[in-house]
Structure formats: C-alpha cells, structure tokens
C-alpha cells in the first residue's frame, strides 16, 4: 500500500471539509448500502465507478 504522504489529494470545494473529515453522507444511502453489502458478503467487485458532478459526495463515499 502506498505511503499516505504519496497519495494524491482529491479536489476540495472551498469551505467544505475534506472527505476524510466528513462524518455524514447525505442522499447516498442506497449506494452506501449496496457497497457495504457487497464488501461484507465477500462479493466485492474488483472495480467500482463512482461518477457524478463535483461536490456530490463521490470522494466522501470512497473514503468511508
């Protein structure tokens, strides 16, 4: 695994907390549940595409 200091930083929206610092994810309960169910069942696909407009929670979902 890469050293955290070497990982690229995701885009930030000025005034918004970094995805690592965000405790809540609004409006994506179904996506989060689908991902968690796949991860806990051992059926996690090798790749997931998380797409959408800037500021919609993609990085926050990925960090969670």
pLDDT tens digits, one per residue of 38-52: 989 988 888 889 899
Contact 13, 59 (CB under 8 A): no
- CA-based Rg of the chain, rounded to a whole angstrom? 13
In the chain, which residues have pLDDT < 50? none
Q: Record the pTM.
A: 0.61
Parse the chain into domains and list their residue ranges. Answer: 29-64
CA quadruple 38, 48, 62, 32: dihedral sign = negative
How many helices (H) and strands (E) the chain has is answered by 2, 0
């Amino acid at each position: 695994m890469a050293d955290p200091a070497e990982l690229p930083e995701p885009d930030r929206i000025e005034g918004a907390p970094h995805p690592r610092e965000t405790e809540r994810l609004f409006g994506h309960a179904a996506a989060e549940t689908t991902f968690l169910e796949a991860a806990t069942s051992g059926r996690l696909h090798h790749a997931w595409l998380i797409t959408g407009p800037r500021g919609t929670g993609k990085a926050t979902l990925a960090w969670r």
